[in-house]
């Protein structure tokens, strides 16, 4: 066995050109493992050894195998050609596989066929029907077609797949859920990988994949044949291609899944109460129900409190009749609810009227508890009227948290999965979202290119920001008029100057310091130092300039990157070292002799410092940038036409403006990180971190019918 595997594995055939030959050996190896054997067992079946020796003797003809690698002849004009891929599938009781060919038609109408690739599998030991094996062959054909579509660099105009099994073609035109697991999963995979309309029928006599299952010798493969040159009918017109035979046979039901009907019918006890379903608030529902129950009696005057109590009880009875019909029927019959009932743990019971289901529970002997608190009314959370009740409590309590609403409702009602139902409602409530929702920030983006340009000079990428204002003392009024004229003349200059210097600006959205990252943090350090030193007091312009220079000196003396605690390490590199070659800008300039007037020493010194900085940066600081400190998940991106609330820290939340998203801006990683919002006719560009998405305004009626019929 060891030698057999060694010889078989030595046949390197990545394209599968000699598969009709090697598949014969795979079948022999499978037969050799029918019984438990050792790798070096010499007692192998005589008939299998003779078959293997015969197969091994054919290897002498292997040098005669020749495979042309060009898909088209050299004289073909490649400017206007039509290329098609044809994949053929076939199976037998021993093996199955598929083979692909390329059909090329040039501008003169001449056709050319060439071998592309083939695949084969040995049939499993477990016995399967021929339609199942043919389906397995179709799976290999679909996988092969998908592989060629992905890997071929040539433009493929059409892909056609062929099989000689009419049963497989019938299965592929049906839904996969109709069949048993073996057939259904493979039909679903084929339908996902290929187009069902691309499959055609070919008879076995003209199917080149039949050579895989029947096998061929190397002598036969060395000669011109349909395996190496493709089926001849592909060189003919479409009218002469094989067509599906009209056998008129019935569908094979052996592989169909057994069908079963499961349904539930619920009839509303009040079919004429369509007005109740259209109600959007609990008060409106209560008014409509009161008019329906006491319409004629209440025409002479307003409804009484007793009428509203009766209408409320009628609503609760309707909810329970539609949601707990079986439990209500058993309780009225004096029986316990079923073991599979949702109300089993509540020990449900009927109230004094015998119409409402209440919680039996274990608090019967509790003192100083009202009857409604000890035995609340049971309600279903999915019913439309229950949602209206939750909405009423949430509105009357001024949209508090879910625990506050849940505690208030628990005094009278027991809503199944009540906390979940209240949270679900508040998630879709516009007022709750307006008061509690926070901006949803997408996953932290990758570092920009400006922070990853290694060994670049200083000021290669520069970030700017405006802050303040700072009040400056200026006693002479003529100086203030001159300063205003100077500022007005300075405003248009930076853009023109930057353009002439080939400097381009990339603007971040307003109120988004996290877009700048590290340089925004340094600007914050500058502002902190200025506010600490100057504060709110107005100072003279000369004093402010002096403070700016002092702050600049402090920040430029800060170490860059990781500071080692080892005394043998060099001093940390600071911005002053890179800019001026010394630690402190207040020290006098170094005087160099005239022999070094070309500043070679300064240049070497700067290079050593720069190399020291970049080596420490790459070794200690750069790996620490891999980790995302926050914003780890990828929530759903903001979309256009969504109603949003603009976060403004300078205003109370009640005054935050509300607008609609006009356009979203997608970053390089595909996430939306900023958007254009229209507010009162004006458009603002803001980051997603400053936008709170609000739920859409609900329709006037419920989204679903409370009574579902199957």
Q: Are residues 178 and 116 in the same domain?
A: yes
Q: How far apart are CA 65 and CA 542, in angstroms?
A: 91
Confidence of residue 592 (pLDDT cuts 50, 70, 90): low
CA distances to 4, 11, 12, 24, 39 from 1, in Å: 5, 16, 19, 16, 5
- Which has the closest alpha carbon to 145: 179, 80, 107, 100? 100
Residue 119 placed within a domain: yes
Strand ranges inside 495-587, DSSP E: 539-540
Residue 295 has pLDDT above 70, yes or no: no
pLDDT, tens digit, for every residue of 656-676? Answer: 899 999 999 888 888 888 999
Residue 220 placed within a domain: yes
Residue ending a domain, among 600, 632, 664, is 632
Residue predicted with more confidence, 581 or 395: 395
- Which has the closest alpha carbon to 88: 117, 65, 124? 117
Residue 298 placed within a domain: yes
pLDDT value for 484: 47
pLDDT value for 28: 86
pLDDT value for 591: 59
Residue 112 in tokens:
């050319």
- DSSP letters spanning 82-147: EEEEEEEEEE-SSEEEEEEEEEEE-TT--EEEEEEEEEEEEPPSS---HHHHHHHHHHHHHHHHHH
Residue predicted with more confidence, 367 or 163: 163
Residue predicted with more confidence, 45 or 420: 420
pLDDT value for 701: 43
Residue 461 has pLDDT above 70, yes or no: yes
Residue 347 has pLDDT above 70, yes or no: yes
Residue 32 placed within a domain: no
Q: Are residues 201 and 339 in the same domain?
A: no
| Choice among 419-428, 429-438, 633-642 with the minimum mean pLDDT | 429-438
Residue predicted with more confidence, 112 or 588: 112
pLDDT, tens digit, for every residue of 31-64? Answer: 887 767 777 777 777 888 888 888 888 888 888 8
Averaged pLDDT of the chain: 81
b (16+ CB within 10 A) / e for 82-117: ebbbbbbbbbbebbbbbbbbbbbbbeeeeebbbbbb
Q: Are residues 157 and 294 in the same domain?
A: no
pLDDT, tens digit, for every residue of 298-330? Answer: 455 678 888 888 888 999 999 999 999 999 999
pLDDT value for 624: 72
Residue 265 placed within a domain: no
Confidence of residue 496 (pLDDT cuts 50, 70, 90): low
Residue 595 has pLDDT above 80, yes or no: no
Q: How many domains does the chain have?
A: 3
Residues 6 or more apart whose CB falls under 8 angstroms from that of 153 comprise: none
Domain that holds residue 592: 557-632
Q: What is the mean pLDDT of residues 223-245?
A: 90
- Which has the closest alpha carbon to 89: 25, 142, 146? 142
For residue 186, the domain's CATH number is: 3.30.420
Residue predicted with more confidence, 472 or 217: 217
Residue 520 placed within a domain: no
Q: Are residues 379 and 426 in the same domain?
A: yes
pLDDT value for 478: 44
b (16+ CB within 10 A) / e for 9-20: eeeeeeebbbbb
Q: Are residues 408 and 336 in the same domain?
A: yes
pLDDT value for 520: 78
Residue ending a domain, among 236, 266, 301, is 236
pLDDT value for 161: 95
pLDDT value for 585: 64
Confidence of residue 101 (pLDDT cuts 50, 70, 90): very high
Highest mean pLDDT among 96-100, 270-274, 439-443, 518-522: 96-100
Residue ending a domain, among 578, 611, 632, is 632
Is residue 466 within 8 A of residue 513, CB to CB? The reply is: no
Q: How far apart are CA 119 and CA 14, in angstroms?
A: 9
Residue predicted with more confidence, 73 or 566: 73
CA distances to 195, 196, 256, 296, 375 from 189, in Å: 11, 11, 17, 65, 55
Q: How far apart are CA 255 and CA 181, in angstroms?
A: 9
| Choice among 197-211, 215-229, 534-548, 587-601 with the minimum mean pLDDT | 587-601
Residue 597 has pLDDT above 90, yes or no: no
Residue 478 placed within a domain: no
Q: Are residues 312 and 428 in the same domain?
A: yes
CA torsion angle for 615, 617, 619, 625 (degrees, to 10)? -160
Q: Are residues 108 and 216 in the same domain?
A: yes
pLDDT value for 389: 92
Please state whether the predicted TM-score (pTM) of the whole model is above 0.85.
Answer: no
Phi, psi for 174 (deg, rounded to 5) = -115, 170
Is residue 415 within 8 A of residue 385, CB to CB? The reply is: no
Q: Are residues 313 and 226 in the same domain?
A: no
Residue 480 has pLDDT above 60, yes or no: no
Q: Are residues 229 and 328 in the same domain?
A: no
Percent of the chain with pLDDT over 70: 84
Q: Are residues 312 and 423 in the same domain?
A: yes
Q: Are residues 174 and 232 in the same domain?
A: yes
Q: Are residues 225 and 330 in the same domain?
A: no
Residue 221 placed within a domain: yes
């Amino acid at each position: 066995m060891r030698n057999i595997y060694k010889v078989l594995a030595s046949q390197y055939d990545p394209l599968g050109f000699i598969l009709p030959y090697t598949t014969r050996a795979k079948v022999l190896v499978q037969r050799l493992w029918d019984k438990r054997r050792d790798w070096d067992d010499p007692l192998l079946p005589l008939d299998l050894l003779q078959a293997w020796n015969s197969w091994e003797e054919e290897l002498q003809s292997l040098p005669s195998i020749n495979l042309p690698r060009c898909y088209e002849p050299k004289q073909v004009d490649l400017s206007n050609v039509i290329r098609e891929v044809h994949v053929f599938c076939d199976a037998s009781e021993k093996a199955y596989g598929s083979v692909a060919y390329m059909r090329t038609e040039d501008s003169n109408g001449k056709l050319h066929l060439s071998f592309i690739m083939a695949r084969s599998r040995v049939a499993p030991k477990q016995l399967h029907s021929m339609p199942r094996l043919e389906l397995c062959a179709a799976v290999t054909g679909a996988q092969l077609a998908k592989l060629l579509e992905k890997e071929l660099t040539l433009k493929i105009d059409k892909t056609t797949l062929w099989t000689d099994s009419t049963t497989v073609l019938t299965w592929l035109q049906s839904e996969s859920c109709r069949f048993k697991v073996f057939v259904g999963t493979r039909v679903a995979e084929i339908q996902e990988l290929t187009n069902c309309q691309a499959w055609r029928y070919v008879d076995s006599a003209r199917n080149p994949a039949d050579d895989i299952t029947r096998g061929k010798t190397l002598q036969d493969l060395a000669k011109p044949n349909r395996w190496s040159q493709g089926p001849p009918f592909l060189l003919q017109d479409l009218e002469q291609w094989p067509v599906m035979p009209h056998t008129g046979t019935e569908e094979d039901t052996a592989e169909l899944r057994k069908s079963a009907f499961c349904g539930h019918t619920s009839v509303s006890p009040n079919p004429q109460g369509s007005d109740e379903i259209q109600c959007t608030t609990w008060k409106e529902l209560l008014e409509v129900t009161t008019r329906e129950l006491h319409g004629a009696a209440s025409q002479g005057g307003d409804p009484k409190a007793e009428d509203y109590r009766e209408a409320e009880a009628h609503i609760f009875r309707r909810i329970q009749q539609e949601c707990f019909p079986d439990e209500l029927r058993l309780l009225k019959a004096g029986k316990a609810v079923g073991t599979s009932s949702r109300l089993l743990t509540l020990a449900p019971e009927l109230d004094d009227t015998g119409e409402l289901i209440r919680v039996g529970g274990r608090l019967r002997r509790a003192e100083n508890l009202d009857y409604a608190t000890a035995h609340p009314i049971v309600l279903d959370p999915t019913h439309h009227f229950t949602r209206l009740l939750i909405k009423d409590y949430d509105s009357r309590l001024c949209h508090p948290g879910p625990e506050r609403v849940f505690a208030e409702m628990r005094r009278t009602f027991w809503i199944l999965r009540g906390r979940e139902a209240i949270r679900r409602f508040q998630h879709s409530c516009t007022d709750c979202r307006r008061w509690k929702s926070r901006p949803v920030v997408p996953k932290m983006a990758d570092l920009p290119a400006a922070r990853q340009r290694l060994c670049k000079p200083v000021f290669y990428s520069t970030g700017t920001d405006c802050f303040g204002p700072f009040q400056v003392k200026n006693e002479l009024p003529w100086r203030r008029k001159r300063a205003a004229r100077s500022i007005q003349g300075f405003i248009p200059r930076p853009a023109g100057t930057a353009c002439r210097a080939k400097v381009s600006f990339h603007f971040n959205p307003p109120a988004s310091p996290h877009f700048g990252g590290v340089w925004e943090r340094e600007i914050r350090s500058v502002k902190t130092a200025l506010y600490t030193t100057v504060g709110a007091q107005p100072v003279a312009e000369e004093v402010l300039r002096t403070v700016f220079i002092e702050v600049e000196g402090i920040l430029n003396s800060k170490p860059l990157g990781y500071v080692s605690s080892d005394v043998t390490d060099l001093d940390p590199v600071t911005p002053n070292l890179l800019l001026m070659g010394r630690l402190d800008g207040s020290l006098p300039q170094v005087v160099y002799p005239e022999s070094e007037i070309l500043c070679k020493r300064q240049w070497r010194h700067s290079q050593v410092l720069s190399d020291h900085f970049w080596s420490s940066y790459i070794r200690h600081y750069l790996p620490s940038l891999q980790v995302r400190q926050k914003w780890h998940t990828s929530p759903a991106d903001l979309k256009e036409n969504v109603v949003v609330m603009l976060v403004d820290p300078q205003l109370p939340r009640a005054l935050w403006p509300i607008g609609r998203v006009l356009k979203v801006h997608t970053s390089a990683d595909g996430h939306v990180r900023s958007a254009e919002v229209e507010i009162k006719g004006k458009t603002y560009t803001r980051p997603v971190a400053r936008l709170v998405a609000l739920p859409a305004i609900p329709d006037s009626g419920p989204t679903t019918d409370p009574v579902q019929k199957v």
